[in-house]
Amino acid sequence: MSSRTLPLLFLNLGGEMLYILDQRLRAQSIPGEKARKDEWTDVDRKRVMNDIIATMFNKKFMEELFKPQELYSKKALRTVYDRLAHASIMRLNQASMDKLYDLMTMAFKYQVLLCPRPRDILLITFNHLDAIKDFVYESPAILNQVDETFRQLIETYNCLSDGEFQLIRQTLLIFFQDMHIRVSIFLKDKVQNSNGRFVLPISGPVPWGTEVPGLIRMFNHKGVEVQRTEFTTAGNYVTPQREGSFELYGDRVLKLGTNMYSVSRPVETHMAGSSKNMASHAKENTAPNPLAKEELNFLARLLGGLDIQKPGGGETGFRLNLFTTDEEEEHAAQTRPEELSYKVINIEATQERQAELSRILGELEVAEPRPDSAGKGEDLLALMDGL
């Protein structure tokens, strides 16, 4: 497991979250002069995006995030995203938050599977950050926060070897390995099967620095080429014209990580059969996790340093529904397997309460994460609401 994976996982999932929220907020926005008090306007959308991005790129938060550390459980990370999603006047019901997280994780999983070479995970991250900068281009202070994280990414990751990036990619794949949630966009584009598994292409550009397959060269003991043999490949491969830019500005070339919701399309999610089986066995391993207390201390440090903006005065939060109707949202909440739902417990993660946080949650029985059981998750989940 790589100790440098967490920042890349967090930023890419966060980027996907922002894509989805922006698309849904735009779809539900009403022109300002026509909107009632309880309806979204474009001003509200910009405020929500600015508040969430400002929280996501909080300096203290990023300092904690970039410290070398192992990945924590899916439910622990989900805690952070619930906190971020509610960092403004927007409020999501549990079913909508579940759907949001499903879409985030499956989109990034697909990108990790498709990246031509492990180092290209960094280009995927840069694509997300480029798009995030476009969301806040009218807010110089927030834009500067994103640029600071950009520079930190370049400083931390540009110097890593290909082997270290391969380890990062394997760590990400282990994290996602048991997640097979069907997404309508992927199903429609025929890149996902009905069981929730992705279909990987056998054609297209080869990784930068490699040659198109079809030629075998034989060398003697002196390193001199002595024979060539050509063979026919099943795919149609092409050589990339140039490498994507790993600098603050530039053409990334790679399109993975860009906003696939820029064109309005349905984004329904469905539990695949394998995920239902996973849910039915989620309670098998109930041994307490010895790392639980350390993990929750980590979350307390992260979340305790965030300055969440709450609706002030008599202002109420706006509810965002990721489903077409309220009835669909209610049905999704009722039919989701209990083992995959995220119970809500309110936790104060301020510095004064860190010890109590560890004591309360450290007493919970938590299924210890294993490489072969990623995704079965622990029951310690917390949706950090109202901190």
Percent pLDDT > 70 in the chain is 66
Average pLDDT over residues 362-370: 40
Within a 10 A sphere around the Cβ of 186, how many other Cβ atoms? 21
pLDDT at 369 over 90: no
For 229-258, what is each residue's pLDDT tens digit?
999 988 889 998 899 999 999 999 999 999
Confidence of residue 366 (pLDDT cuts 50, 70, 90): very low
Closest C-alpha to 15, from 136, 120, 96, 177: 136
pTM for the predicted model, two decimal places:
0.75
> What residues does each domain of the chain span?
5-202+245-263+293-308+318-337
DSSP one-letter code for 198:
B
DSSP result, 269-325: EEE-HHHHHHHHTTTS--PPPTTHHHHHHHHHHHHHT-------TT--PEE--SSSS
- Residues 105-116 pLDDT 10s: 999 999 999 999
- In the chain, the largest separation of any two C-alpha atoms, in whole Å, equals 81
Give yes or no for residue 222 having a pLDDT over 70.
yes
The secondary structure of residue 367, as a DSSP letter, is: P
In one letter, which amino acid is 263? V
* Torsion over CA: 268, 271, 272, 278 (sign): positive
Cα(100)–Cα(77) distance, rounded to whole angstroms?
Answer: 14
Q: How far is CA 187 from CA 192, 243, 270, 351, 376, in A?
A: 5, 30, 11, 45, 24
pLDDT in tens, 270-319: 655 544 544 444 433 334 444 555 555 555 556 555 555 555 555 555 66
Higher-pLDDT residue of 4 and 370 is 4
DSSP assignment, residue 114? H
Top pLDDT among 9 and 34 is at: 9
Q: Residue 261 has what DSSP assignment?
A: T
**Could you tell me what percent of the chain has a pLDDT over 90?**
44
The stretches of the chain forming alpha helices (DSSP H) are: 6-28, 42-56, 59-65, 74-85, 94-114, 120-135, 140-157, 162-176, 184-188, 273-280, 292-304, 326-335, 354-362
User: Average of pLDDT values for 108-132?
Assistant: 96
Nearest to 298 by CA among 52, 61, 104, 55: 61
Integer Cα distance of 16 and 11 in angstroms: 9
Mean pLDDT over residues 16-29, rounded?
Answer: 89
Q: Report the pLDDT value the prediction gives residue 295, as an integer from 0 to 100.
A: 56
